[in-house]
Structure 1
Amino acid sequence: MSRRGVGRPRAVARPDTGLSPREELLAAAAELFTVNGYSATTTREVAERAGIRQATMYHYFKGKEALLAELLESTVRPSLEAARLLAASDAPAGARLWALAHRDAALLCSGEHNLGALYLLPEADRFLDFQELRTALKQAYANLLAPITAGLPQAERDLRADLVFSVVESVILIRRNASALAVEAMAEAVADAALRVGGVGEGDLAHPRELGRALLPG
């Protein structure tokens, strides 16, 4: 059954995707922002791509910035929620770190459009809620890594935490330069790399990887 809103006029007839008007606007914005660029995209173009009248669009979003804010935050919220759940787990730190890196990388690799590329927009720095979420996620990585790097000087611990976070987000650039990605293979490779950068030796990867897989949903 379609979840479209009732009584909201549409600009053009479009195939029924099963998406609500709000979801269609986000899908249209994701496509236009990543393909044509944020600055080059107008709200009229977003509305037309979604098959919704421009005036109706403002019922769901105040403007182009609100669309970008939602898209940016959608790339972080699920991973941050996963980090909170993993923080409460009694699994070893390495397994929890592997699972978070896997879930985060899979999220950034999934979907029709590379939303992580929106991080590179100069406008992204203005979105404080997004930046706060991203900072909280980065801290969650550092917290999971802390038991692994406990014997190191603080400066090196901080550096490794930064590197782990950078390794995960590197999939954004990889995806920009690849026509297609095998999401599961990429997520596993990134999770393994996160542990290596964090200080887990190659010979010690198998156990946290196995335990980390058990922490993944499904």
Structure 2
Amino acid sequence: MPNPVYDVARTGLLLVDPYNDFLSEGGKLFPMLRDVATDVRLLDNLRATVDAARKADIQVVYVPHRRWQPGDYDNWDHPNPTQRLVQQHHTFAEGTWGGEWHPDFVPQEGDIIVQEHWAQSGFANTNLDFQLKQHGITHVIVIGLLANTCIESTSRFAMELGYHVTLVRDATAAFTQEMMRAAHELNGPTFAHEILTTAELIAALPVGI
């Protein structure tokens, strides 16, 4: 997939779940991600991608997971296994440090924060599609966590809705290398129009760093 071209007026950077529980030492899920995140230099690449997008005047869109609140998933007919774990461990709990943005990824003026997703797709039961269409966005670059769950589900849904989808293989992470391989080598090529490294993406943007 050589030489992708991005019209900054029609491109959005989707930053998925940049919470302390995922990205910070002391976060509830960070120990499970640490090895893969270190291997791909996740934080450095997230910072570089977000910074390059801002410099290129690309719309940054926050795509946050539901922040757990008391009563979530209680009396549901069929919460999924991940939701059961969130219910048990109170991951991304509202009003806690773990449910706050990582300090390097605090929203800035002009960013869009869409409604929180309850499961894995950032589109399902949220206003993400509406916001993207209202801002004339046709191309989405999807980064954040996790590669094989929310990134994949959001990206697949985007493709189904007619968006051009770019995955950035080292600006995401998963709990195992096998999950990363599934996300980028097995599943990603079935729906993503581009699968790039951070360096390749930045080189393709009109304004690099």
Question: Would you call these one fold, judging by a TM-score over 0.5?
Answer: no
Greater relative contact order (Cα 8 A, min sep 6): structure 1 or 2? 2
Greater strand share, 1 or 2? 2
Normalising by structure 2, we get a TM-score of 0.30
Normalising by structure 1, we get a TM-score of 0.29
Give the number of the structure whose alpha-carbon radius of gyration is greater. 1
Greater helix share, 1 or 2? 1
